[in-house]
Amino acid sequence: MNKTADVIIIGAGIIGAATGYYLSKKRLKVYVFEKAFPCYGSTGRCIGGIRAQYAHPLSIQVMIESIKIFSTLRDELNRDVEWYQGGYLFLAHTEEKKRTYLEAIKLQKQFGLPVEFISPEECSRIVPGLNCEDLLGGSYSPYDGQANPFAVTYGYLEGIKKHRGKIFTYTEIKKINLTGEKVSSVVTDKNEEYFAPVIVNAAGPWAKKIGELVGLSLPIEPERHESLVTEACERLFDPMIVDYRPDGCYFVQNYKTGHFIGCYTPIPNDPGDHLDASSTFLTEMPRRMVRLLPKLRHLKVLRQWAGSYEMTPDGNPIVGATPIDGFYVSAGMCGHGFMFGPALGKLLADLITEGKSSISLEEFSYNRDFSRKELMK
């Protein structure tokens, strides 16, 4: 078999799959290496939410591009990726939260997003049965939505195969070889060597370890986040509900299957790449869901699992070139990787082939100042 490609991608999550797809569409030969199976990492463990409601201009721009792509992905990949524009509703239970949302809305409107701060009455009109106790209102955008991470990722990977590329599953990258200051090949756990002048680190929670293979220290640390899915029921409402209280949670009903899927951000955070599921979550998450929406109490939980948020110091991803010639990073997605994936894939493909992208990713660069924080993370 031919062991030389134009680009080698490490990791078959949404980032590796999307980046590989847009590169292969530019007629580059792409090899994707995955230590387990596609979606083994965070992508297969996420809840599929997609939103442009951010407090950082670049994130808003990237997400407008991503939503454009999601809405045409069915035709592009010839597969139902279950994109549904059901919106996102961020609940404000404190004056401080409300102010944060109002500030963000000003910015989001500059980019033309149809976001409004709505009253508790309007919130409960959109989400019938919502518990409005202490609720001051919510930041609502019908422009946001949901899609199926498995369908999107496998769809992109099938596309890579159609364009001469190859996906190596159950194949772990153990070593990256440099020639001078330039990447030249990777070595797998089967001790096989594959060559390419460009290597993309899309290893999600393991991106730091891949960086270490070329002596690069990437500030990306995984944290455990847990999630659960309930049985299906008739459609109750459209948007993802986000409750950012310290004991809040986020969940959405899959518009197609009717399952509810959700998670919360643990306090304190839970560092490390361990993926065990806890009994605390299995009882705490239902309490938080039922508090927000008492009528869900009869719905049964089918499954719980854990995954990683790949955190950077400022809550934004690291995307682009590095001091090692030919070595690119697209990782540290901070819990937003599924939704960022399509746009970042396309932009990084442009950056790799043309040296620039239509939206500048400078602010996500490897050597930026990490002290400015994303407020809607």
Partner 1 sequence: MKKEIIICRCEEVTEEEIVKVIKQGYTSLNEIKRILRCGMGHCQGRSCLPVIARLISKYNRKPLSEIRFPTSRPPLKPIALGILAQYHKSLDKNRNE
DSSP state of 354: H
Least Cα distance to 20 among 141, 122, 161 occurs for 161
**Does 307 engage in binding with ligand FAD (CB under 6 A)?**
yes
Gap between the Cα atoms of 5 and 366, Å rounded: 25
- Residues in region 208-267 near ligand FAD by CB under 6 A: 210, 225, 227, 263
Measured from the CB atom, the residue of 115 and 173 that comes closer to ligand FAD is 173
**Does 49 engage in binding with ligand FAD (CB under 6 A)?**
yes
Q: Residue for token digits 């309007």? A: 122
Instruction: Look at residue 204 and give the partner it binds from ligand FAD, partner 1, none, a contact being a CB closer than 5 to 8 Å depending on partner kind.
Output: ligand FAD
Q: Which of 287, 356, 372, 373 binds partner 1 (CB under 8 A)?
A: 287
- Write down the least CB distance from residue 44 to ligand FAD, Å: 7
**Does 36 engage in binding with partner 1 (CB under 8 A)?**
yes
**Does 299 engage in binding with partner 1 (CB under 8 A)?**
yes
> How big is the chain, counted in residues?
377
**Does 297 engage in binding with partner 1 (CB under 8 A)?**
yes
Instruction: Look at residue 177 and give the partner it binds from ligand FAD, partner 1, none, a contact being a CB closer than 5 to 8 Å depending on partner kind.
Output: none
**Does 230 engage in binding with partner 1 (CB under 8 A)?**
yes
* Cβ-contact 214, 176 below 8 angstroms: yes
Please spell the DSSP secondary structure of 113-179, one letter per residue: ---EEE-HHHHHHHSTT---TT--EEEEETT-EE--HHHHHHHHHHHHHHTT-EEETT--EEEEEEE
**Does 302 engage in binding with partner 1 (CB under 8 A)?**
yes
Q: Which of 96, 300, 355, 371 binds partner 1 (CB under 8 A)?
A: 300
Q: Is residue 149 reached through a cis peptide bond, with omega within 30 degrees of 0 on the bond before it?
A: no
- Residues in region 273-302 near ligand FAD by CB under 6 A: none
Q: Helix 337-354 vs helix 14-25: angle between axes, to the nearest 10 degrees? A: 30
- Write down the least CB distance from residue 279 to ligand FAD, Å: 17
**Does 45 engage in binding with ligand FAD (CB under 6 A)?**
yes
Count of positions on this chain that bind ligand FAD (CB under 6 A): 42
Gap between the Cα atoms of 282 and 173, Å rounded: 35
Largest CA distance in the chain: 64
Please spell the DSSP secondary structure of 205-269, one letter per residue: GGHHHHHHTTT-----EEEEEEEEEEEE-S----SEEEE-STT--EEEE-TTT-EEEEE---SS-
Q: Which residues bind partner 1 (CB under 8 A)?
A: 36-40, 44, 150, 154, 169-170, 229-231, 257, 277, 279, 282-284, 286-287, 289-291, 296-305
Q: Which residues bind ligand FAD (CB under 6 A)?
A: 10-16, 33-36, 40-43, 45-49, 172-173, 202-206, 210, 225, 227, 263, 307-310, 331, 333, 335-339
